[in-house]
Structure 1
Amino acid sequence: MENSVSIKLPWWFWLVAILALLWNLMGIGAFILDVTISEETLSAMPDVQREMYENNPLWSKLVYGTAVFTGFIGALGLLMKKKWAKPVFIISLIAILVQMGFSLFVLKTPDAFGPMAYIIPVMVILIAAFLVAFANRGIKKGWLR
């Protein structure tokens, strides 16, 4: 028989879960904007940025989509207090590492956007790693079942 003892979640658990959901919704929005970019917008970009977009292969876009949609599903898992949120966040983190690594080191986004191109990838990686650790803590504390 499953333990029916109710574990009280701290208020900040819900704050983190809601912020994770909103963060990943922004990621989905950015992904949609990226894959639906118009020819007009592309032609208005500096050559180096346009070439970066044009040379981004389909597999990289699929990995990007995997990263943001699994992050969103993981955040839903947190809100539902499900321990499967952790492996879903791990998939998201792996996809982020692949996509950001390709973007930074193969597509060379810093050449197109300058040194600031490192800030967002590092921030995204740190947040994804935090969400994996947060879900792991939730499992250990019994918050996620």
Structure 2
Amino acid sequence: MAAYIRQRPPRWFWLTGLAATLWGLLGVFAFLLYAAYGAILFPAPADPFSDALPTWFGIVYACTAGSALLGGIALMTRSALARLLFLASLAFLLVQSAYLLLGTPVVPQFGWSTLLVPLLLIAVAGGEIWFADYARRHGWIC
């Protein structure tokens, strides 16, 4: 059995971990705005399907934001759980985005440009997973 040696990470690791944590905080803040003021922020003429979103959508949104935040915190504490939490966040994000794009009239109403935000979020989640793998391979998290 080989012993695993935990390596000291470079300074940019901490900046990346801080950025991931702040990104997770931003997601939690966006969820809280959605939960508290969704109907006010998006009035009926601009968003006719906001009231029709099912309850499970809000739960998936909370899980997406929460697991991203916990993944950033796990990265900052150098825990290997960061990869698993980032994977969970991506899975929840894919469910959330698929429902919004396929189960609601958002694309016919607002056009294909509505794909830009989900694609950006998926790219960031993929980058977080890649970075957690990279950090684990270099012994910065374990």
Question: Does the alignment reach a TM-score above 0.5?
Answer: yes
Q: 1:68 is matched with which residue?
A: 65
Residue identity matched to 2:73 = L
Q: 1:7 is matched with which residue?
A: 7
Partner of residue 100 from structure 1, selected from 77, 97, 100:
97
List structure 1 runs of 4+ shifted beyond 2 angstroms.
2-6, 38-42, 108-116
- Stretch of structure 1 that moved more, 61-70 or 6-15: 6-15
Residue identity matched to 2:77 = M
Residue 17 in structure 1 maps to residue 17 in structure 2: yes
1:106/1:82 Cα in 2 relative to 1: closer, same or farther (>3 Å)? same
Q: CA RMSD for the aligned pairs?
A: 2.1
CA shift, 1:38, in A, is: 6.0
CA shift, 1:59, in A, is: 0.5
Q: 1:36 is matched with which residue?
A: 36
1:70/1:52 Cα in 2 relative to 1: closer, same or farther (>3 Å)? same
1:38/1:95 Cα in 2 relative to 1: closer, same or farther (>3 Å)? closer
Aligned partners of 1:52 and 1:112 also within 8 Å: no
CA separation in 2, counterparts of 1:52 and 1:69?
24
CA separation in 2, counterparts of 1:10 and 1:113?
44
CA separation in 2, counterparts of 1:40 and 1:86?
36
Q: Where does 1:52-91 land on structure 2 (aligned, <5 Å)?
A: 52-91=49-88
Q: 1:27 is matched with which residue?
A: 27
- Aligned-residue sequence identity (percent) comes to 26
SS at structure 2 position matched to 1:54: coil
CA separation in 2, counterparts of 1:86 and 1:6?
17
Residue 133 in structure 1 maps to residue 115 in structure 2: no
CA shift, 1:86, in A, is: 0.7
TM-score where L is the length of structure 2: 0.89
1:37/1:114 Cα in 2 relative to 1: closer, same or farther (>3 Å)? farther
CA separation in 1, counterparts of 2:74 and 2:95?
23
CA separation in 2, counterparts of 1:40 and 1:102?
22
TM-score where L is the length of structure 1: 0.87
